[in-house]
A and B are shown apart, each in its own frame.
Chain A
Amino acid sequence: MTTKNSGMPIGFGLGKKNPLSFQVDLTLLQRATEDEQAAADIKGKPSSFFKDGLVRLFHNPVALVSFIAIILVLIAVIVIPEVWPYSYDLQLGTYYSDGSYNNLSPMEYGTAELARIANGETIFPHLFGTDSLGRDYFIRVIYGARISLIVGLFASIIVLIIGSIYGSISGYFGGKVDLVMMRIVDIIYSLPDLLIIILLASILKTTLNIDNSAFLSALGTGMISIFIVFALLYWVGMARLVRGQILTIKKEDFVLASKASGASGFWIIFKHLLPNSISVIIISVTLQIPSAIFTESFLSFIGLGVSAPMPSLGSLASDALNSISSYPYLLIIPACIISIIILAFNLFGDGLRDSFDPKLQK
């Protein structure tokens, strides 16, 4: 064996040994050969908390199916609007200056399209037909799902940021700070949220001035007010959850060690406390997304959500309500999509909690 210090005995430099000592004579020891070292290595890599959780998650059929459903929906809403030949606000009737495009049944064509098909052209079919203004319904549903998911995602991120910062500050500093901060949370928590949301959304819809920002006006006042409402009201659940986590973690020795070596409160919160409560936070965010989608579709349904012509699943369902007896599928399709999305996120969130929440592990 050829290491740097070969030839030198291992116990070199320990000084002369007392002949009566029971101490191990290190000079008699030999280095292990590389083969022997390899044999002593632990077979396979040690499993981590994250890996264990993933294994549990993917052995849960319900969570796995919901995960696949979420991925499929995500791919659909990202890719399909980019490649689809019709856009969500294109009124085929005006495009062909023809009224026969309004309220087409699924897979039907308008007169101008039928003429073109007779000429041998291929026309992309209207999978779900068209709505009362002659817009391709399939792309409206897909686009609506995209809007609903964006709302769900952004609202959850807002809730995540505000809630985790508020909760960790309250939990870490404790005492009077905690008392005051938690009383504020209690008050917001006991507000009748849907009433306040309707109130705020209806006011913001008329007062919000976003014309000077291209990005914001593309989103529409309804969407902005939903985000504002979430930022104002919905973070309290997350704040409570994070605070509870922080309260238990901050008693751990490694936090004390960090404090003893002079770390600031800010450092301890972001470096030690929040990363250690990350699994609970992620689970709660996953469950927050469907609740945000739920609220958005509710607001859109009563006419306070997205502004026309932009569709959301709630506004599509609400529009379809007027013609429910003649065109029931216009309602059933968006209703099914909302249900699938909300159900998938809920079940996946439950699965995540079952596999990653340390408290639930046996």
Chain B
Amino acid sequence: MNSKFLSYILKRLIMAVVTVFAVITITFFAMQLIPGGPFLAEKSISAETLALLEAQYGLDKPVFIQYLNYLKGALIWDFGPSIKKTGRFVTDIIFSDFKVSGIIGLIALLIATFTGSILGSLAATHQNKVGDRVIMVLSTASIALPSFIIATVLLLLFCVTLKWFPANGTSIAGYILPTITLSLYPMAYITRLTRSSTLDILNQDYIKMAKAKGLSNRKVLFKHALRNSLTPVITYFGPEFAYIITGSLVVEQIFAIPGLGRDFVSSISNRDYPMIMGTTIFLTDIMVIMLLVSDILYKVADPKVDFD
């Protein structure tokens, strides 16, 4: 098993590297496709200044050399200076933005996992009763609703009508609504996941055995069933984090939070090439790492899983 496990990890690592490489290549050549350089918007720019600027950012070299330079930079997370935010390096902007987005994302992730698994197991133990129905309807609705709809409705209700929270994310109170918005979808997903896996497990013999021993329902659920039913939740951890990060693109926009998502969207409309490429690669790295970790954790947590 050990050599199988190692070869599985090796295979996943190679896949991860190829994915990152593919994203780096796609972003670079996609940027090359855009007509007009990043300095086209500036009107009063002379030919000499343009040449100087291009030389400064290395845009005068042949495409292939630019690609190699870029690849080298991407490996050590050095994407050069931002074109629009003068005097700041892309990596610095990304890191300071990510502090905001990362904290919101992490809290949303914890809320989602905790609440989702509890709601899911409650729904499973009350299968086909009112509680189960209510939980399932709510979770179906939160999966179907686009995050920008949820975000705007929450904004409308709590910031505009009730005025409970400020409408921009400059204070702690302003972070509450976006965190809730981001946690809703993964929470609903985890609820459904936990419900179906708990239903599976409640039919197993060892649960019947535990009940026959005279353990209370709560003890059976939390001590015996929940532990095993959380295995699929682990697999969802990686994709869930990825969802939260990309979901933040629009949620941060709506709640005016100075995070990575908002800067990514604005860098696209500003044609800030280094910023676009840097953010894309940074987020890809994070997602690939999260997926890798959750896949490996899953194999560790459930010895029955095949290594294929």
Chain A residues with a Cβ under 8 A of chain B? 183, 186-187, 190-192, 194-196, 198-200, 202-203, 206-207, 290, 294, 297-298, 301-303, 314, 317-318, 321, 324-325, 328, 331-332, 335, 338-339, 342-343, 346-347
Contacts and interface: CB of A to CB of B under 8 A. Distances in A.
Nearest to B26: A196
Nearest to A232: B26
Interface in B1-59: 15-16, 18-19, 22-23, 26-27, 30-31, 33-35
A325 B145 CA distance: 22
Given A191-B22, A199-B30, 19 more contacts: A187-B22, A190-B288, A192-B23, A192-B246, A192-B280, A196-B23, A198-B249, A203-B34, A206-B34, A206-B35, A298-B146, A314-B146, A317-B148, A318-B148, A324-B156, A335-B152, A339-B145, A342-B144, A346-B144
B287 interface: yes
B104 interface: no
A186 B11 CA distance: 12
Given A195-B246, A202-B268, A324-B160, A346 B143 contact: yes
17 contacts: A186-B15, A192-B280, A195-B283, A196-B26, A199-B268, A203-B33, A206-B35, A290-B144, A297-B148, A298-B148, A317-B152, A321-B152, A328-B156, A335-B152, A342-B145, A343-B141, A343-B144
Interface SS of A by simple majority: helix
B254 interface: yes
Contact of B152 (A196, A206, A324): A324
Given A192-B284, A195-B283, A301 B148 contact: yes
Interface of B: 15-16, 18-19, 22-23, 26-27, 30-31, 33-35, 140-141, 143-146, 148-149, 152-153, 155-156, 160-161, 242, 246, 249-250, 253-254, 264-265, 268-269, 276, 280, 283-284, 287-288, 291
Contact of A190 (B153, B269, B291): B291
Contacts of B145: 339, 342-343
Contacts of A200: 30
Contacts of B160: 324-325, 328
Nearest to B277: A199
Contacts of A203: 30-31, 33-34
Contact of B19 (A187, A294, A324, A325): A187
Q: Which residue, B23, B146, B153, B155, has most C-beta atoms of chain A within 10 A?
A: B146
Nearest to A341: B144
A290 B140 CA distance: 13
A346 B140 contact: yes
